[in-house]
A and B are shown apart, each in its own frame.
Chain A
Amino acid sequence: MSKYWSLTKTFMKTAIGASMSIKLGGTERKWAGIVLVIIIAISFAPILWMLYYVMTDIFLIFDMVGELPVGVGFVLNIGSLLIFVFSMLAAPALFYFAKDVEYVLPLPIKPTQIIGAKFTIALVFEYLIAIALMGIVFFALRDLLPVGVLTFNTIVTLLALPILPMVYSTVLVMLLMRVSRFGRNPDRYTMFVGILAVVIAIGFSMYAGQAFAIDGDALVNSLMGQPVAMTTLNTVFIGNGFAARAFGADVIFGGALHNQLINIAIAAVAILVFFALAKVLYFAGIIGLSESGSSGKKSTVEDISKNTKGQSKFFSYLAKELRLLFRSPTAFTNSVLGAFLMPIILGISLVPLMRSGDFDELFGMINFSDPRTVAFTLVIMTLLGFFIGGMVMITCTTISREGKSLFIMKYIPVPYSTQLHAKATSGIVVLIPALLFMMVPLQILFQAPAWLFVCGLVLVLPGALFINYLGLYIDLLRPKLTWDNEQAAVKQNLNAILVMGISWALAAVIAVLGWFVFTNPWVAFFGLFGITGLLAFTAYYLAIGKGNKLMERLH
């Protein structure tokens, strides 16, 4: 096997190999990982289906005015932009933070072979997006173009599509790593791109909301007017223009072929330019990445005195938990950020409804002097506690995140109950602001009576606490302690899904009870408080009361 292929296989294993397996019943199961990937892929099916319908409409309208290449070019440019963004997110982890390059540098391998192997892996990931996109394009165009030309164009465009955006993003990342100190801190960079990704997702959902609101004719008119954004994308992703023109041809020879040849030639030149630039930028940026060094500023006696203030074991442990949580990009973006962004995303999705006037109608129907409405409001608030509690995934991964460092919990002279209390409290510290962040805007919007809001706060808390302690208990029962990358402890942890599943099932039971039994406000309040309080107490007892025994079992 050539060195290039051997390297590619090895890098691929370090990139995804370990994370494909999931621990079930104490054994790593690769099939479980594959099942999870399939479930995630299926969860994307509705979006792909929706995109298929939108594209079919767009292509049909452009075809009717004889400008199909403009429509195809628009879709290809959006696809290239998407690949560019994904590549910006993935490239640093693959090229720089994987920490595998420093081990192969001393081996007798050419730099181009290392770069080539890394580039190939990045390309494989981006092809997944390209396949999804071009698959939709193929089906959306199948009634408009002869099948031979369509198949030829789809395959060639698919091959070329990810290359240019990937070259742009990777070179940009290499430049960033070469010249700036910012990118050289993996945590800082991952945190930055993680937040950026969420912002882009929100921005995209806002844009999509507006795009679906306008009709197809308006989109055609807008694109035919050569908007600046589209002209810029046409220039940046220069190959897409030729690919789009090829889709306008009825035959391959004398029609699509020469445009696609230019498209492929552009991709090939891009790869050559990439290799030339990577040879200059990549290795100079990666050397010494893992050891950025300290400031070297000597701490004075005053510094030491200022920085060494004692506090109780519990508060010190809690502070440590929160520091590690907020400084870990994976834990922060997945366990904390989501809970605060969800109200914003929900708020944004409500904007079209508010504009349409339907909201005023809805407001008119709400009557807080009606006992049934009050009871129903209390049920909704209780369910909100479950919902937000499920979004804050801190305690359900808190033991897993310890990983190989779990032994520290065992040798420090601090009772397990104190440590587990501190871990549970780190969840509550985030949970309460997250609840208020959701509840206060709702209160401002719906103007419920103050007493009802207070009752709601009383009800929302036990549900959220239940999820918090349940998460800790489940993570104590089956923590994922063997991992190389923290993402495996947080993102690929089935405990979070398990907690979410249990909480949704219980929320459904409460919703049914709420609809059929809790029709009176007092019955609703005490009934809901009793149920959620009992659940919270049971979960607390399991996590903290049984925690000592469960901790002893772990090693």
Chain B
Amino acid sequence: MLNLSNVSKTYGNNTVKAVDNISLEVKAGHILGFIGPNGAGKTTAIKMITGILKPDEGVITVNGSNITDEPIAAKQNFGYVPDSPDMFLRLKGFEYLNFMGDMYQVPDNQRQEKITTMAETFEMTGALSARIQSYSHGMRQKIIIMGALMHNPAVWILDEPLTGLDPRSSFQLKEMMRQHAQAGNCVFFSTHMLEVAEKLCDKIALINKGKIIFFGELEELKDKHNQLSLEEIFMEVTANV
């Protein structure tokens, strides 16, 4: 459903590639955890997947649509939660959700149903009429998640989605990710919470210095590293590369 093939990116006149020839695939029914240290190239990769940056080389397809050649079709296929929820702060919760509904052309009945369900799930029904500016960090994160998922996208791209969420909302989002994958869709999410990645993901992509140093199932990775925990493996491989 989400495919990256030999993708590279260099910023400006730098000689070092921010992302260096990465390839990975997230199949239907899978949750992929994208992990790596700060500055490894995670955000650059996500920006290329979502069309924010153009790759210098390689091909990215989202549900069959090439993000470079058919950007609108490709963007319609994913829901994206950026790493910072500080956006549209002067809009009210309702206004933001409506705006996103309009951008993705969500029919009124689906919009109402989604808002009702997600507002209940994330305990946001009391905040929709207020400006996002007045929300706490966690509430902002929740409203951005609601906006990103309203059009029922097949592919979820979530950049650090659990940061700032309270335990209940964090649990709910993880459940939603599982259900979404079980329904034949896929989730691509970056995280620094390795225990979460360990429990939630079907596959792991480990990136360091712009290169994918491991892509595969967690068990496969553990087999290679004497059944160490993901945290221990992370410490080992990012120190040696």
Given known A-B contacts A308-B115, A407-B47, A413-B72, A324 and B127 have beta carbons under 8 A apart: no
Q: Residues of A contacting B214 with CB < 8 Å?
A: none
Q: Does A297 sit at the interface, judged by CB under 8 A?
A: yes
**Interface pair B54/A316, CB less than 8 Å apart:** no
**Interface pair A295/B50, CB less than 8 Å apart:** no
Minimum C-beta distance from B196 to chain A (A):
24
**Interface pair A323/B95, CB less than 8 Å apart:** yes
**Interface pair B51/A411, CB less than 8 Å apart:** yes
Q: Does B225 sit at the interface, judged by CB under 8 A?
A: no
**Interface pair B127/A308, CB less than 8 Å apart:** no
Q: Residues of A contacting B14 with CB < 8 Å?
A: none
**Interface pair B91/A323, CB less than 8 Å apart:** yes
Q: Residues of B contacting A320 with CB < 8 Å?
A: 88, 91, 95, 99
**Interface pair B52/A296, CB less than 8 Å apart:** no
Q: How large is the interface on B (under 10, 10 to 19, 20 to 34, 35 or more residues)?
A: 35 or more
Mask: chain B, 192-206; 1 = CB below 8 Å from A; 0 = not: 000000000000000
Q: Does A312 sit at the interface, judged by CB under 8 A?
A: yes
Q: How far is the CA of A308 from the CA of B71 in the complex (A)?
A: 27
Q: Does B234 sit at the interface, judged by CB under 8 A?
A: no
Q: Does A355 sit at the interface, judged by CB under 8 A?
A: no
Q: How far is the CA of A307 from the CA of B102 in the complex (A)?
A: 13
Minimum C-beta distance from A385 to chain B (A):
31
Choose from A291, A311, A315, A324 the contact partner of B90 (Cβ within 8 Å).
A324
Q: Residues of A contacting B103 with CB < 8 Å?
A: 313, 316-317, 412-414
**Interface pair A308/B97, CB less than 8 Å apart:** yes
Q: Residues of A contacting B72 with CB < 8 Å?
A: 413-415
**Interface pair B105/A187, CB less than 8 Å apart:** no
Minimum C-beta distance from A364 to chain B (A):
52
Q: Residues of A contacting B108 with CB < 8 Å?
A: 308-310
Q: How far is the CA of A8 from the CA of B98 in the complex (A)?
A: 44
Given known A-B contacts A297-B126, A308-B98, A320-B91, A411 and B80 have beta carbons under 8 A apart: yes
Q: Residues of B contacting A312 with CB < 8 Å?
A: 102
Q: How large is the interface on A (under 10, 10 to 19, 20 to 34, 35 or more residues)?
A: 35 or more
Minimum C-beta distance from A203 to chain B (A):
30
Which segment, of B31-39, B132-140, B172-180, faces chain A?
B132-140
**CB-CB nearest in chain B for A295:** B130
**CB-CB nearest in chain B for A553:** B54
Interface residues of B in 114-170 (CB under 8 A from A): 115-116, 119, 125-130, 133-136, 139
Q: How far is the CA of A187 from the CA of B90 in the complex (A)?
A: 9
Of the listed residues A187, A294, A317, A410, the one surrounded by the most CB atoms of chain B closer than 10 A to its CB is: A294
Mask: chain B, 61-97; 1 = CB below 8 Å from A; 0 = not: 0000000000111011000101010011011001101
Minimum C-beta distance from B113 to chain A (A):
9
Q: Does B59 sit at the interface, judged by CB under 8 A?
A: no
**Interface pair A295/B51, CB less than 8 Å apart:** no
Interface residues of A in 285-323 (CB under 8 A from B): 291-299, 301, 303-305, 307-313, 315-317, 319-320, 323
**Interface pair B128/A307, CB less than 8 Å apart:** yes
Q: How far is the CA of A61 from the CA of B47 in the complex (A)?
A: 71
Residues on A facing B (Cβ under 8 Å):
187, 291-299, 301, 303-305, 307-313, 315-317, 319-320, 323-324, 327-328, 404-405, 407-408, 410-415, 552, 555
14 extra A-B contacts, CB within 8 A, seeds A187-B90, A328-B90: A291-B135, A292-B134, A298-B126, A299-B125, A301-B116, A308-B94, A308-B101, A309-B108, A310-B108, A317-B103, A324-B88, A407-B52, A408-B87, A408-B88
10 nearest A-B pairs in the assembled complex, by CB-CB distance: A316-B102, A294-B130, A413-B75, A307-B94, A327-B90, A294-B127, A413-B76, A411-B50, A410-B52, A298-B125
19 pairs of residues in contact across A and B, judged by CB atoms under 8 Å: A294-B126, A294-B129, A294-B130, A295-B129, A299-B126, A301-B112, A301-B116, A303-B128, A303-B129, A307-B98, A307-B128, A308-B111, A313-B102, A316-B103, A324-B90, A405-B88, A411-B80, A413-B73, A555-B53
